[in-house]
Amino acid sequence: MMIQDMVVLGASGDLAARYLLPAVARLHAAGLLDERQTILGIDRDARDDEEFRAAARARLARKAPDLSVRDVQGVTDRLRHRSADVTDPAQLSAALGDLTGPAAVYLALPNTVFGGAVRALAASGLPAGSRLIVEKPFGADLADARQLNATIHRSFAEDDVFRVDHFLAKQTVLNVLGLRFANRVFEPVWNALHIAAVDIVWDENVALKGRAGYYDGAGALKDMTQNHLLQLLALVAMEPPTSTGHRDLRDRKIDALRAVRPPAPDRMGALTRRARYTAGHLDGRAVPAYVDEPGVDPRRDTETFAEMTVFVDNWRWAGVPFRLRTGKALGRARREIVVRFRPVPHQPFPDTAPANRLRMRLDPDTISLDINLNGSGDPFCLERVHLNARFPAQQLPPYAHVLLSVLHGDPTLSIRGDEAEEGWRIVEPVLRAWSAGDVPMLTYPAGSDGP
């Protein structure tokens, strides 16, 4: 059943402006919203409905300028606003008073107030059957994630909890499943016998972009690796699921994550790297050093580049390194999963041929396979050939797909509670080693290839 009422806690914040409102607008433009769909925004701001709608129109003009005036109006007409402290049960109950049926409640809030907001929701008389949507980061560490899960489960069933990761709705990410499990040519060689290494990379060619308030307290490892990149690893490493139902898919993902072995303390220097950018140039524009960005506290020692190599200790992947890398202010955007195959055991050709490589680019959505064929000149000399496929753009952006699945009650594209906890288990040893200074902080100029 599609839920008709959406509640946004923290409706005036950056997250709602950058992701949520544009996603709702895309769903409206595609005709995928119920005509009775309403959106109630709640925050501390003292504003009436029309002021809230005017602010939303201005935000959509900046974030989704291609939308028609009619589509923007179709979304903003659905908006209402109430002022309340979202961690105060009495105030939140009064703000939610008009709800008569189940609602999808979106926590567009700093993760430090998730627990207080969930407790206030539990005491506010939220209608039965309501759903909870939680943005990353889910918790500040493993203990905090466990406590937050316990708080949530006192009021919400796990199938009604949606821990949002829009990476899971990207077309190429979902194509990992089709590539592996619908093609006999790949699955038999998807193991340590034939694969030498896997790289999962999310390099960004943008700097901080005014996000110091969040980013300086998180850093690259928490912001990207703990959630997004480990989710990609789970899809690459998981065993074949019985079906594409949410229970089967998420069971197989958690199996893969539980098998991940983080670097041992005495191997942190060899298997992890951290760095932050210094002054440089991006697209011809001067960029200040990270420590000189507005809102950054240099004493935090926050990294803008994180790399770690882990191993999946199971029968399929024993001994295969999985390298997870992410960074900001790099010279080029590189967002891909690269599967590096082992060389053939014997080559009768005079020149050694490089090993095959499968590259799944996540933006733009492409897949390429590097193979070796006999050359056009000497038939016994090999040439490298690249087989490429590019996919048409998704009709809906990933965030809109995730939101639509929430409204329909399908948790397949969200992260289960135990998955979130496993992500923290994997990165916490690295965070401890970095905090203790066991791994030096490197530097790289903005616009370069990294450290």
- The predicted pLDDT at position 131 comes to 94
| Number of Cβ atoms within 10 Å of the Cβ of 321 | 15
Instruction: Work out whether strand 161-164 and strand 414-415 pair parallel, antiparallel, or are unpaired.
Output: antiparallel
| Rounded distance between C-alpha atoms, residue 35 and residue 39, angstroms | 12
Q: What angle do CA 265, 267, 268 make, to 5 degrees?
A: 70
- The predicted pLDDT at position 422 comes to 96
Q: What is the mean pLDDT of residues 316-341?
A: 96
Q: What is the mean pLDDT of residues 319-326?
A: 98
- Tabulate helix, strand, coil % of the chain (nearest 5): 40, 25, 40
Rg over alpha carbons for the chain, rounded to the nearest Å, is 23
Q: How many residues does the chain have?
A: 451
> Could you tell me the CA-to-CA distances from 276 to 120, 324, 450 in Å, in that order?
39, 16, 9
| Rounded distance between C-alpha atoms, residue 59 and residue 22, angstroms | 9
Annotated binding-site residue? 328: yes
| Number of Cβ atoms within 10 Å of the Cβ of 265 | 12
**Of 224, 136, 227, whose CA–CA distance to 422 is shortest?**
227
Annotated binding-site residue? 170: yes
- The predicted pLDDT at position 75 comes to 87
- The predicted pLDDT at position 423 comes to 96
CB 227 within 8 A of CB 415: yes
Which carries the bigger pLDDT value, residue 263 or residue 209?
263
Question: Where do runs of H (alpha helix) occur along 341-416?
Answer: 398-407
- The predicted pLDDT at position 375 comes to 76
Catalytic residue, chosen from 194, 228, 246, 401, is 228
Whole-model pTM: value is: 0.93
- The predicted pLDDT at position 139 comes to 86
**Of 111, 141, 116, 286, whose CA–CA distance to 213 is shortest?**
111
Q: What is the mean pLDDT of residues 410-422?
A: 92
Per-residue pLDDT for 67 more than 80?
yes
pLDDT digits (tens, 9 = 90+) for 418-444: 999 999 999 999 999 999 999 999 999
CB 183 within 8 A of CB 236: no
Annotated binding-site residue? 44: yes
Specify the amino acid at residue 3: I
**Of 151, 114, 116, 120, whose CA–CA distance to 133 is shortest?**
114
| Rounded distance between C-alpha atoms, residue 441 and residue 451, angstroms | 10
Annotated binding-site residue? 297: no
CB 271 within 8 A of CB 309: yes
How many Cα neighbours within 13 Å face the side chain of 232?
Answer: 29
Annotated binding-site residue? 131: no
Average pLDDT, the chain: 91
Per-residue pLDDT for 34 more than 90?
no
| Rounded distance between C-alpha atoms, residue 305 and residue 220, angstroms | 6
Q: What is the mean pLDDT of residues 90-100?
A: 89
| Rounded distance between C-alpha atoms, residue 390 and residue 392, angstroms | 7
Annotated binding-site residue? 363: no
**Of 237, 256, 254, 257, whose CA–CA distance to 246 is shortest?**
254
| Number of Cβ atoms within 10 Å of the Cβ of 9 | 27
Q: What share of the chain has pLDDT > 70, as a percent?
A: 100
> Could you tell me the CA-to-CA distances from 450 to 93, 108, 306, 446 in Å, in that order?
50, 32, 10, 8
H or E element that contains 126? none
Specify the amino acid at residue 255: D
- The predicted pLDDT at position 379 comes to 73
Per-residue pLDDT for 172 more than 80?
no
Which DSSP letter does residue 60 get? H
Is residue 228 part of the annotated active site? The answer reads yes
Per-residue pLDDT for 202 more than 80?
yes
Q: What is the mean pLDDT of residues 252-260?
A: 97
- The predicted pLDDT at position 397 comes to 84
| Rounded distance between C-alpha atoms, residue 76 and residue 55, angstroms | 9
Which DSSP letter does residue 266 get? G
Secondary structure of 191-240 as H, E, C letters: CCCCEEEEEEEEECCCCCCCCHHHHCCCCHHHHHHHHHHHHHHHHHHCCC
**Domains in the chain, ordered, with CATH?**
5-135 (3.40.50.720), 168-393+416-445 (3.30.360.10)
Annotated binding-site residue? 293: no
